[in-house]
Structure 1
Amino acid sequence: MLATLLAALGAVHAQQKQRLTGGWEFVRQDLGGVWEAVRPVPAGAPESVPLWEPVSLPHCFNARDAVDPDVNYYQGPGWYRTQLTLQNPYPGGRTLLHFEGAGQKTDVYLYTTKVGSHVGGYDEWSVDITEALAAFQQTDEAKTRFKGLVPLSIRCDNSRDLELIPSDLSDFNLYGGLYRYLNLEYRPAVSLERLMAKTDVDAAGKAGTLSVKAALLNPAAGGATPVALRLLDPRGKSVGQFRGNLQGQAGEQPVHQFRVKSPRLWSPTSPQLYTLETTVGSGTQAYKQTEKVGFRHIEFVEKGPFKLNGQRLLLRGTHRHEDHAGVAAAMTEPMIRREMVMMKQMGVNFIRLGHYQQSPIVLNLCDSLGILVWEEIPWCRGGLGGPVYQAQARRMLTNMIQQHYNRPSVIIWGLGNENDWPNDFPEFDKQKIRAFMTELNDLSHQLDPARYTAIRRCDFCKDIVDVYSPSIWAGWYRGIYTDYKDVSRKEFEGVKRFLHVEWGGDSHAGRHSENPDNALVKVSRGEGADERAGDASLFGGSARASKDGDWSESYLCNLVDWHLKEQETMPWLSGTAYWPFKDFSTPVRPDNPVPYMNQKGVVERDFTPKEAFYVFQSYWTAQPMAHIYGHSWPVRWGEEGEQKMVKVYSNCEQAELFVNGKSYGVRKRNAQDFPAAGLYWNVPFKTGPNEVRVVARQGKQTVQDQISFRYQTQKWGKPAKLTLEKIADANGLVTVEAKLFDAQGVQCLDAANWLHFSLAGAGKLLDDLGTSSGARKVQAYNGRAIIRLQARPGQTAVAAASPGLDTVLLPL
């Protein structure tokens, strides 16, 4: 009977929620008031200002200016408007707008009535527009002017505000706009406000329980409300049912506890998900909600590793910022899916979502792909604000835990990041920060006793939380990368539970080096490996790779390679998370090779993998792979007959290298043989074109890779000439390449001069994307840089300029 009821409700359930993506208009400025968004103005009238532009959601009003090299990104208000057809199918039902996130302060208006507000750019929230809708539909305006449509206006504001988290000192943009999905929801008179499903299983996985609590939305509309639960195993087989009643009261109330014998356990290699179907109400007032849950046992061993389901699991992680080329925070679901699948393909089993609650789409993918999660609130840098500031932090922590409580992927609630970073307020009181951190820690455990709490980089609070991550940037901000294990061991011994999140280094995509570690001879040892004030600057201070290194992909690969091979020999290590997976924009790094970009990602801001991506694959994945270093290195250089290193990153047992058709022998993989786990060869190249191929074998499986490049033996001097040529024209995109040559016409293969591209005439330059091939101002990589443009009929010219050199013009 229960199954029949649930099936009958399918048609109604399909109407309950829809994304509001199309039919929007936007203006990036403030209005005098909401009346300016809805007042009648004749089409084309001169007083029809401001000028609105059509957009679709999700939309971020910093999509391009976040990485504009010439301006600060916009921080202020912006308005959205649309007109909706609203028809709630439930008699006496509720109509809601559900925001998956909007930045950073939001006001919502139905016609001229303010129906809701929210502060905080990252948690989910809803606005009930039922009463305002009914009132508006009775007006003459609704019946005559709008003819059944309902005007909706939304004001988003990311203005600077010291009493708002995160701090504007943070190393990421505080974006503005409706940059996550906005949903229209129709609910019956009584429905679910939230459902809390807690799974428990012993370490052996023999016995599991699922405890369900529920809170009703609009409980006053009814008395005792029927509730039905059904639990399905990962194959879709029913393993438990329950029917009962919920009392017409506010707040959570227990519903039922299922007992599951020998549940199928959730893990990164086998993310088994159960389905909990919940129906409240009956007949035309029935409301159905489906949740995915998983059974797993987690333990951070004190002074030891991490265990999942009773077995040690080395957390192999990365980080994610909500940021992408051309759209900034407004990533669509296909974009998000592609990013998370790429992480899984790299071998990730853990992610820290930095530094804020992220889209439910991200969490859905972590659950289904098998990626363990540290998720945190955006109390990031700046110190500690007053009552309004603290109330927001408490509210966002509560929302994050309640909204993602059911997720099997989540194992850690993060309470803060770099809270030892002052300067937003005159007072920086460590004891007050400790007191508030303690309050958040207690609140987290009260809301969810089953998960751990953690912070990163605030040593004077490290004893408060369950898990602590210090600042360790061996080989980048301090020290050299071979210090990594010793520094980590020392930090491990100083805390109850150690987890190392944030390590790595910047690399300018397309820049390579024949001697990438040269800068390390200048770096002092024995000073630790933490990041200190000013270390991120490219000027001043002591020698460090972040300032004095070449920012090549070659150096980053060495740094990553060393860290990964060391992690294989640290049995006490719970795990690490590389910072970050993808390059992202930041207002505090204007001088980087791509201005306003944090370039520590192993993929570029548009998903283009850098070489380091394959280093991770070679250690973390099982599917046989092989990758010769240098796919984006078109010209290598050196002496005639000089032995040059070729590195192959592979997880296979052995590999054979061929250079220009000649075999240079088979090497066996040994993770402790640095670099490239022993898969490296020193071979001669011939002047001019060279072909390199590798054949790697894992059992009976074989994988291959090959690259082509030119080998230059001519020496070069100071850059004296700039050239520009078209190198590709396909699918409406033209690619042009700028090159730097010396006075004798020899390409300067180590030149890192600044280049500035511009365009005149028909077409559009694809700049301000935050990539090495999508920036109008960019440092050269090995004496060259490319940019693309959308070709249009008509005359077009591209120009390239570099300080001290003649500007060059290329008519197209």
Structure 2
Amino acid sequence: MIETPLRLRHDLSLGWGFVRGRVGRGWLRGRGDGGEMVDLPHSWNDQDTFQHGRRSYSGFGAYRREMDLPTMPGSGVWKLRSEGFYGIADVWLDGTSLARVDGQFLGFEINLSGSLAAGPHVLAVRLDNLFHPNVLPGKRDPDFLLHGGLAGRVWIEWVPALHIDTGHVEVVCTPDPDGAELLDLRCAVNGLESSPMNGRLSWSVTTADGAPVATAEPMPIGDGTLEGSTNVPKPRCWSPDDPQLYWAECRLETDGSPTDVVRVRFGITRAEFRPRRGFFLDGTRVDLHGCNRHEAIPGFGSALPPELQRADAELLKNYGCNFVRLSHYPQHPMFLDACDKLGIMVYAEIATWKSVRSARGWRRAARRQMRDLILRDRHHPSVILWGMGNESRSRKAYSELRGISNELDPARPVTYAENNLYRAHRQDTIGIPDVWGVNYELDALEDACASSRLENVIVSECCNHPTSIKGDDREELTQVATLEREWELMMNRPYLAGHAVWSLTDYATEHRKRYRRLTGLFDAWRRPKMAAELFRARYAEEPMISLFDTAPGPATPPSRFRRDVPAASNFSDRELHVFTNCESVHLRRDGEPLIDLEGAIHFVVPIGDAFEEISAAGSRRGSNIEARHHRNVRASRIELVAHDGVFTPGRTITIDVAIFDDDGVTVRDWNGHVRLQAEGDARFHTYTDSDEVVMARGEGRAYLTLGSREGEFMITALAGGLAAGTATIRIAPPGPSGAADQLVGS
């Protein structure tokens, strides 16, 4: 994360006119109807994905808005910046084409004229989400959607003529033998040709909350390339249990006054993959366990607001994940910021999917994206691996990408995800990655380990069950069995650094007309399936018990993770699946003792169907927990719960929907749809235009983006025959930072 507190920054994320389809130069110059009003981030595929049989829109779109620039003192330059999106974009200012850019999931930066006049201007962006062979991933029909639109924020920033180049600020950490940490501090200063050269540059280091840690001696600007160093005497190394962060501040002064300040957030990590021994942090072996994440939600496309970026990281942490692979493209820096703060390790990669090749144009685009990805994200302590590709191979391309990584970030290893070791041998990619990534070939782990430079392997994809729809007992239990079976295959392999389940959530795709892939531990709205509870039982620290009452599931082989209780003849028609990390669990059936469970994380207990309540009580490391499951309950009403209690204008909040009986018990066999209504200034994000929520096991979820008008309004949930659910939302005034379109500066 990089901040520039002295620079004037004008956020342009609100109030864009949007047109889906082609537009001419007249529209780009500000003529004609501006179109639908939208805010950024925005995707034009927010309501046409995740629907069986419906192709999402792939084509053109355009955005336009006015901006009013103030008169700026002194000399400098305006820079237009954006966050990432897919596709090719033409950027226009006041009727003139500025640049043609590749969004490359990372965004763009355009230097505007330093003489750009104060007053109103018209900014327009015309882009597409079509297939381009040399725009990564460079594949016509990958197994994920290439969402269209400006999926990140856009802003304009005033940069003084003499300034620090944010793309060339670097903090390199090296441990000293005495236990201290040596920080090499590097930066470049631009604008020397037009500004006085009597400036000085100084560095300081603080903890995340501002406590001073170290300083470096001030140095003259010289030729504009500066290096300094300092020591952190007793560093707190970043780890999943203690994700300590620091700030390094680079301050440029001329004639005794500050001209520019750049702040870089970083962490001190001592991470290494040891040959045939796995992954280590600060000398301690750490088992990597997590998921592959796609950056999309129905109703948003890939244009996730900050609240939902952070929520995904919190979801991973709460369910015991310490690792996430960002498949299969660069993802939003806010998600990486959240991983830094929560202690989640990251495998970050460029955009590929069976598309790595030796063609010159593709390799040029891949080199550029690899370079820009590393320059943007190398200060995130959560990043432990750079990914070069997925399920495709080219010795020439991978050798070039490895060279870029070694040049820019030699301490971090590179990998790529391989699903065919035989083809890797034939195409001679053996020995290029530091760590070998295995997709599904669990019988090839030993050979894969020997194929990497560091004799180390990570399972980059596994446990893929593509039809596990939430609420279907048999499909969910098959997914559970898939995890248990593949976990068995990965046991007792010290050279295996860890694994990433495919996938964190269900997601939209049109590859082979699949439309949706139901592979997630969670559904597309981040509601857990049984497999998520199994994962949590294995890896989470907080005590948990989760109960599911089902018909007898599919036959499964024995597993160290599962215990089956023999069935009595009168109990054989229903099963209770108990997922827990407790040392022991005591079950009661309608108040009477049923059985004590221990020695596994998944128990299958025959219970029959003639009961009203199953209760479970357990403990873990001295902490007690209880859970209850009810049967034969009758749906009577809908309940709404609004999370994220600070309701400020523009915020996206999560609305959970539940079906209850008269006593407030969730009706677990209620599947269907609930219709939502909002009376005030707000918009529901549903994956169709019907404002319906998909319900499974009596639960559903919706997202609501608040408008700009303050005050109270009511949201209502309706379903035939049930008492409506209501919730009152109050939009409060924003804090001192005000609206997103405010000019902020010193």
**TM-score interval for Structure 1 and Structure 2 normalised by the shorter chain:** 0.7 to 0.9
* Equivalent residue runs for 1:36-115 within 5 Å: 36-41=27-32, 48=33, 52-87=35-70, 89-115=72-98
SS at match of 1:230: strand
Give the C-alpha shift of residue 384 in structure 1: 2.2
Cα distance in 1, alignment partners of residues 640 and 281 from structure 2? 49
Give the C-alpha shift of residue 620 in structure 1: 1.1
Unaligned runs of 5+ in 2: 555-566, 643-654, 660-668, 705-713, 721-746
Cα distance in 1, alignment partners of residues 537 and 141 from structure 2? 36
Aligned to 2:580: 650
For residues 246 and 406 of structure 1, do their structure 2 counterparts lie closer, same or farther at Cα, with a shift above 3 Å needed? Answer: farther
Aligned to 2:135: 164
Cα distance in 2, alignment partners of residues 502 and 318 from structure 1? 8
Give the C-alpha shift of residue 709 in structure 1: 2.9
Give the C-alpha shift of residue 236 in structure 1: 3.4
For residues 294 and 154 of structure 1, do their structure 2 counterparts lie closer, same or farther at Cα, with a shift above 3 Å needed? Answer: same
For residues 702 and 58 of structure 1, do their structure 2 counterparts lie closer, same or farther at Cα, with a shift above 3 Å needed? Answer: same
Structure number with bigger Rg: 1
8 Å CA contact 1:90–1:186 kept in 2: the answer is: no
For residues 731 and 653 of structure 1, do their structure 2 counterparts lie closer, same or farther at Cα, with a shift above 3 Å needed? Answer: closer
Is 1:510–2:482 an aligned residue pair? no
Report the AA paired with residue 460 of structure 2: V
Aligned to 1:28: 20
Cα distance in 1, alignment partners of residues 317 and 584 from structure 2? 24
Aligned to 2:627: 705
Provide, for residues 447-480 of structure 1, a one-character-per-residue CA deviation record: whole Å limited to 9, x for no partner: 221110100016322421111112216xxxxxxx
Greater fraction strand: 2
Return 727-736 or 170-179, whichever deviates more. 727-736
For residues 438 and 261 of structure 1, do their structure 2 counterparts lie closer, same or farther at Cα, with a shift above 3 Å needed? Answer: same
Aligned to 2:497: 574
Selected match of 1:149 from 120, 126, 129: 120
SS at match of 2:496: coil
For residues 781 and 471 of structure 1, do their structure 2 counterparts lie closer, same or farther at Cα, with a shift above 3 Å needed? Answer: same
Selected match of 1:683 from 598, 607, 613: 607
For residues 788 and 82 of structure 1, do their structure 2 counterparts lie closer, same or farther at Cα, with a shift above 3 Å needed? Answer: closer
Is 1:558–2:481 an aligned residue pair? yes
Provide, for residues 399-420 of structure 1, a one-character-per-residue CA deviation record: whole Å limited to 9, x for no partner: 1111112221112111111115
SS at match of 1:227: strand
Give the C-alpha shift of residue 728 in structure 1: 4.2
Cα distance in 2, alignment partners of residues 278 and 416 from structure 1? 35
Cα distance in 2, alignment partners of residues 570 and 554 from structure 1? 26
8 Å CA contact 1:634–1:709 kept in 2: the answer is: no
* Equivalent residue runs for 1:340-359 within 5 Å: 340-359=313-332
8 Å CA contact 1:509–1:772 kept in 2: the answer is: no
Selected match of 2:206 from 218, 232, 255: 232
What TM-score, normalized by structure 1, do the two folds share? 0.73
**Higher-RCO chain (CA-CA 8 Å, sequence separation at least 6):** 2
Aligned to 2:5: 13
8 Å CA contact 2:29–2:96 kept in 1: the answer is: no
Selected match of 2:282 from 292, 309, 321: 309
8 Å CA contact 1:201–1:296 kept in 2: the answer is: no
Is 1:274–2:242 an aligned residue pair? no
Aligned to 1:245: 220
Report the AA paired with residue 175 of structure 1: H
Cα distance in 2, alignment partners of residues 503 and 102 from structure 1? 28
Provide, for residues 739-787 of structure 1, a one-character-per-residue CA deviation record: whole Å limited to 9, x for no partner: xxxxxxxxxx9xx9xx99999xx9x998636999857xxxx989x9999
Aligned to 1:598: 517
8 Å CA contact 1:773–1:787 kept in 2: the answer is: no
8 Å CA contact 1:115–1:128 kept in 2: the answer is: no
Q: CA RMSD in A?
A: 4.0
Cα distance in 2, alignment partners of residues 758 and 651 from structure 1? 37
Cα distance in 1, alignment partners of residues 24 and 257 from structure 2? 44
Give the C-alpha shift of residue 558 in structure 1: 2.3
Report the AA paired with residue 244 of structure 1: M
Selected match of 1:468 from 420, 431, 436: 436
For residues 316 and 186 of structure 1, do their structure 2 counterparts lie closer, same or farther at Cα, with a shift above 3 Å needed? Answer: same
Report the AA paired with residue 307 of structure 1: F
For residues 31 and 557 of structure 1, do their structure 2 counterparts lie closer, same or farther at Cα, with a shift above 3 Å needed? Answer: same
Give the C-alpha shift of residue 180 in structure 1: 1.1
8 Å CA contact 2:417–2:460 kept in 1: the answer is: yes
Report the AA paired with residue 32 of structure 1: G
SS at match of 2:100: strand
For residues 643 and 434 of structure 1, do their structure 2 counterparts lie closer, same or farther at Cα, with a shift above 3 Å needed? Answer: same
8 Å CA contact 2:251–2:262 kept in 1: the answer is: yes
Report the AA paired with residue 548 of structure 2: Y
Aligned to 2:557: none
Cα distance in 2, alignment partners of residues 152 and 234 from structure 1? 37
Return 700-709 or 448-457, whichever deviates more. 700-709
Cα distance in 2, alignment partners of residues 785 and 698 from structure 1? 28
What TM-score, normalized by structure 2, do the two folds share? 0.79
Give the C-alpha shift of residue 59 in structure 1: 0.4
Cα distance in 1, alignment partners of residues 632 and 293 from structure 2? 36
Give the C-alpha shift of residue 52 in structure 1: 0.5
Cα distance in 2, alignment partners of residues 413 and 153 from structure 1? 34
Cα distance in 2, alignment partners of residues 412 and 789 from structure 1? 33
Aligned to 2:156: 184
8 Å CA contact 1:268–1:370 kept in 2: the answer is: yes
8 Å CA contact 1:456–1:471 kept in 2: the answer is: yes
8 Å CA contact 2:640–2:658 kept in 1: the answer is: no
Provide, for residues 282-301 of structure 1, a one-character-per-residue CA deviation record: whole Å limited to 9, x for no partner: 46662112111211212112
SS at match of 2:188: strand
SS at match of 1:502: strand
Is 1:446–2:407 an aligned residue pair? yes
